[in-house]
């Protein structure tokens, strides 16, 4: 079980929950479990989410293991130009 902080619009899409506990071993499983639990997150995930684990940002490394006790944040990806 890992505790995940949902940042910004992600918290609103997760029924107002800014922190959730999820049973997941890697980022891919984390996304799957979150979309099952909070279907409103799926469109945001499709647009792109950055995952910060203990201060390191992972954008496309979905097999990255989630260490027990890690500080995990999910952030909507920012687009700019």
In a domain, 60, yes or no: yes
Q: Is pLDDT larger for residue 77 or for residue 12?
A: 12
Q: What is the pLDDT of residue 76?
A: 87
- Residues shown for the chain: 81
Q: What is the pLDDT of residue 59?
A: 79
In a domain, 57, yes or no: yes
Which residues form the domain of 63? 2-76
Quickly list H helices, the chain.
9-13, 27-37, 42-47
Domain count across the chain: 1
Max CA separation in the chain (angstroms): 38
In a domain, 14, yes or no: yes
In a domain, 81, yes or no: no
pLDDT band at residue 80 using 50, 70 and 90 as cut-offs = low
Q: What is the CATH number of the domain that holds 52?
A: 3.10.20.30
């Amino acid at each position: 079980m890992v505790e995940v902080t949902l940042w910004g619009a992600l918290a609103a899409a997760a029924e107002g929950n800014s922190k959730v506990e999820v049973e997941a071993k890697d980022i891919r499983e984390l996304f799957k479990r979150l979309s099952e639990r909070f279907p409103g997150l799926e469109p945001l995930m499709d647009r792109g989410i950055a995952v910060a684990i203990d201060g390191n940002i992972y954008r496309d490394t979905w097999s990255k293991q989630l260490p027990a006790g890690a500080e995990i944040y999910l952030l909507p990806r920012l687009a700019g130009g």
